[in-house]
Amino acid sequence: MLPETLTGGFPVPDGVKDRLPRETARLRRLEDRLLEVFRLWGYREVMTPAFEFLETALAGQEARARREDYYQLFDRRGRTLVLRPDMTAPIARLAASRAAVEPLPLRYSYRGPVFRRRGHRYGELHEVWQAGVELIGARGMRADAEIIALACDALARAGLQGYKVGVGHVAVVEGLLARAGVPGSAAADLKEALAARDLVAFERLAREAAPAGADLLVDMASFTGSAREALGRFGGEPGDPVRAALEEIDGTLRLLAGYGVEAQVCLDLGLARHFGYYTGIVFEAYAPGVGAPVLGGGRYDRLLAAFAGDGAGTPATGFALDLDRVLQALERQGGPEPEDEAPILLVPAPGAEALAHARARELRAAGRVVEVELDGLEGEALEAYVRARGVAEVVRVEAAGAAGPASGPGGSAAAGPSRPGRPGAAPGDRDRRGAPRPGGGVTPIH
């Protein structure tokens, strides 16, 4: 598929794209399905602005914030704004301000685009449509297990098959980097290589930064096995933060078995996330045929303190789905493509426009998609539109008579693609798939 910048006319910027009706419908259907899953788990939808102050985007990121990845602009007072690069920080700001009086835990969901420059791969979008949740005010393994189980449910309800959710911990990566002797100045680059899943760069950087400990880090990044096996290999002495983190992962995975999702979840010891505010359990989901995570999230127990200013910190965790990647995975799995409902086209004769609009109101009230022809199309022009639009039925509305099939080119009885139905079924008296409505009848239009 050609990028939008090569389609001629007025190009769109790199990293964004237009969506035609069918593409928009696919995205909205996925959004709606996910929001319904979140609602059933008790997560209520919130909305935050598309742009924030730069300080909001930088909150909790420390040295890992990459300003060059943000789309920045200025308000009339010269203050720096950014198109939100993610939804977690804005919702943390919301929870620490207007929602601070609500009882904890807060269960919030959201959908919408975020904006950040990412990667250099062909076609990588910088306007990233997401849907996700935040669980604010709940600490510990039970909260982590709920959020990961919800992630699995969301992926399953989206229709994905064969997905896997890898679970890691910030303290494992940081603890093993320190144990290997990686200086602080090199740690950020190593984490970025892990977050990008660039293991070649990770090994090269590890051998440059800590030659004596590089093998330990390579083992970490490539480790496959259970959390108990990882404890034996990397746990260290009692009291070691790596051991504590691995025990936390092990406990969370055991809790996930109670949700019935243990087959979809695995240990991912070298998992790191691009955003620097994560503090505990982190996770990402991958689907067959897509070389980047379709979902990611984790615990961020210090982020709300950056907005509340009290230093106390409110524990929180959450995740976001990358909707375009989910749609890409669904397309590659070859599942049935949901069809848009084909419309009924009412063609009013001169002077019958009001009758056509009245009939359209009736059909729309019954849940049918109805268009009213506006340009006086007839004959081949009408037939061409019917074919191009995929019209299910064409109904002519006469000023002094009843509705009936429109005349097609050459005097044929029907101008649109007819669908099998009950003999004698009146136009518009069919269900969404074109089958006749049982026992129904079309009210004549006079």
From the annotation, which residues make up the binding site for L-histidine? 86-88, 116, 130, 134, 273, 277-278
**What whole-number distance in Å separates Cα of residue 365 and Cα of residue 360?**
8
**What whole-number distance in Å separates Cα of residue 129 and Cα of residue 69?**
17
Tokens 């404890």 -> residue? 231
**What whole-number distance in Å separates Cα of residue 61 and Cα of residue 46?**
23
Nearest CA to 97 among 39, 132, 49? 49
**What whole-number distance in Å separates Cα of residue 381 and Cα of residue 117?**
45
Rounded to 5°, the CA angle 147-168-225 comes to 115
* 309 three-class SS: coil
Measured in degrees and rounded to the nearest 5, phi and psi for residue 404 equal -160, 175
Beta strands in 179-280 (DSSP E): 265-267
**What whole-number distance in Å separates Cα of residue 137 and Cα of residue 10?**
47
Nearest CA to 403 among 375, 370, 432, 380? 370
DSSP letter assigned to residue 338: P
Q: At CB < 8 A and 24+ separation, what contacts does 412-417 make?
A: 415/347, 415/382, 415/383, 415/386, 416/345, 416/383, 416/386, 416/391, 416/392, 417/386, 417/387, 417/390, 417/391, 417/392
Binding residues: 86-88, 116, 130, 134, 273, 277-278
Distances (CA, A) of 40 to 28, 33, 34, 36: 18, 11, 10, 6
Measured in degrees and rounded to the nearest 5, phi and psi for residue 414 equal -125, 135
Contact 291, 198 (CB under 8 A): no
Per-residue tokens: 341: 């409902």
